[in-house]
């Protein structure tokens, strides 16, 4: 009986197939989350602040203040690291 690592070759192939299915599911979930996020807050010009309709509400206004406070430092760090020019 062939052995790969510490398992039989047949078990190895089962584990690889299962892992590939899990990666496919995870990848699909990430794309779905990204699509939902873009529907909520579409992308804008590089480094620019979102334009919220006068009768609308920004994502930040609709979110839990504790969540915004927790993620704001990360967002600001990313913006500083990646935006080298100001919005006109």
Same domain assignment for residues 36 and 55: no
Tally of domains in the chain: 2
**Residues 21-70: pLDDT tens digits?**
999 988 888 888 888 887 877 766 666 666 666 666 666 666 777 777 77
Can you give the pTM of this predicted structure? 0.43
Same domain assignment for residues 28 and 50: no
Same domain assignment for residues 35 and 51: no
Q: Give the other-Cβ count within 10 Å of 11's Cβ.
A: 13
Same domain assignment for residues 34 and 51: no
Structural domain span for residue 5: 1-40
């Amino acid at each position: 009986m062939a052995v790969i690592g510490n398992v039989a070759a047949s078990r190895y192939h089962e584990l690889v197939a299962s892992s590939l299915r899990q990666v496919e599911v995870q990848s699909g979930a990430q794309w779905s989350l990204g699509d939902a996020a873009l529907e909520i807050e579409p992308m804008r010009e590089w480094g620019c602040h979102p334009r919220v309709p006068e009768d609308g509400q920004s994502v930040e206004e609709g979110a839990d203040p504790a969540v915004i406070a927790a993620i704001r430092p990360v967002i600001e760090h990313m913006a500083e690291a990646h935006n080298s020019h100001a919005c006109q």
